[in-house]
Structure 1
C-alpha cells in the first residue's frame, strides 16, 4: 500500500497542482493538519482515493469541527496513528510514548515543518511541509506498507518556498 503523507500546507487558496498530482497516485493520503482553509481541505480530499486527516492548531474553525484531533486507522494490518501537534520537546521520546499509549506501530505527526523519521520499536514520521519548510527542503513523505514491512521515502517538492537558512548554508563555499 502506498500512502502519501503531508502536513502543514498552510494555504489559504489553491493547492499547487504538483502536490495534487502526487496525491492521486497514492492508495491513501494522510494529512496531519494545518490545511488552514476548507478550500485546501476539499482539494486534498478530491485528489485522494481515500483521505485520513486530523485538524491542526492553525486550521479554520470549520475544519476543526469537521476533523478529529487524532485518529487511528489500519493499513494492511499495521495500526497507524495521526496527530498534528504531539507532546514533543527537544527529542522524540515523548512522541514515542504517545505512540505506545495510542497502541500504534506508526505515529504520523506534523507541526514541525521539517521531516523526521525515527525508528525504534515504533516508527515516528513527520513529513515536513511541502510549502513552508523550516530548516529543511519542502517535502512530503511516501509510506510503503506491505504486510509487516514498512518503508518511508521523503520526497522533495518543487512548489514550496526554499528555507532561507538552508539556501544560505548551501551557498557557503561556492565561489
Structure 2
C-alpha cells in the first residue's frame, strides 16, 4: 500500500496551487494523509476528488468550514497498521513520550504544524512522521512531503521528497 503524507498546504496564502510533483504522487497513492492547515476548502475538495482514500484533520489555521468537515484527530487501520493523524503535538522536546502517552493504541502518528520534517520512533515503538509543508518551507531549505510504503501491516519505507523552488 502506498501512502502520500502532506500537511500545512496553506492555500492560497502561501502558494496559489499544490506543486505538480505532489499532485502526481496523489494519483499514485492508495491513501492520502493530510495533517491539517489547509486554509481553504478548495484544496480539500481537490484531494477528495483525486485520491482513492483521504485521511485528514483540520489544523489551527483552518476556519469553521473545514472544522465542520474534518476531525481534530483521525484514525484508520491500513493493512493492519493502526494510524493516527493530528495537526499539533506540541514542542519537539519530549514529543515521543508525550505522543506515546496520548496515543497508546497507535503504531504510526502523522502530524504537521511545524513545517519541519520529522521521523522518529518513541521508546514504546510509536513511529512519528511529519511531512513538512509542500508550499511553505519556513526556515527549512526545501518544501517537502513524504511517501510511505506499507507491506504486511508494517511501515516498510518512508521517503522525504524535496520540492524544487517555486517560480
TM range (shorter): 0.7 to 0.9
Unaligned runs of 5+ in 2: none
SS at 2:5 equivalent: strand
Does residue 164 of structure 2 align to residue 153 of structure 1? no
Q: Output the CA distance in 1 between the equivalents of 2:74 and 2:36.
A: 11
Does residue 132 of structure 2 align to residue 128 of structure 1? yes
Does residue 98 of structure 2 align to residue 94 of structure 1? yes
**1:95 deviation in Å?**
2.3
Q: 1:66 aligns with which of 53, 56, 69?
A: 69
Residue 144 of structure 1 is matched in structure 2 by 149
Residue 172 of structure 1 is matched in structure 2 by none
Q: 1:49-88 counterparts in 2 under 5 A?
A: 49-88=52-91
CA contact (8 A) 1:18 1:159 kept: no
Q: Output the CA distance in 2 between the equivalents of 1:160 and 1:30.
A: 23
Using a 3 Å threshold, how does the CA distance of structure 1 residues 160 and 49 change in structure 2: closer, same or farther? farther
User: Scaled by the length of structure 1, what TM-score is found?
Assistant: 0.84
Q: Output the CA distance in 1 between the equivalents of 2:90 and 2:101.
A: 9
| 1:144-167 C-alpha deviation (Å, 9 max, x unpaired) | 111133121111122559xxxxxx
Q: Output the CA distance in 2 between the equivalents of 1:28 and 1:142.
A: 10
Residue 113 of structure 1 is matched in structure 2 by 115
**1:131 deviation in Å?**
0.8
Instruction: Specify which structure has the bigger relative contact order, considering alpha-carbon pairs within 8 angstroms and separated by 6 or more residues.
Output: 2
Q: Output the CA distance in 1 between the equivalents of 2:161 and 2:18.
A: 17
Aligned length: 159
CA contact (8 A) 1:8 1:113 kept: yes
**1:111 deviation in Å?**
0.2
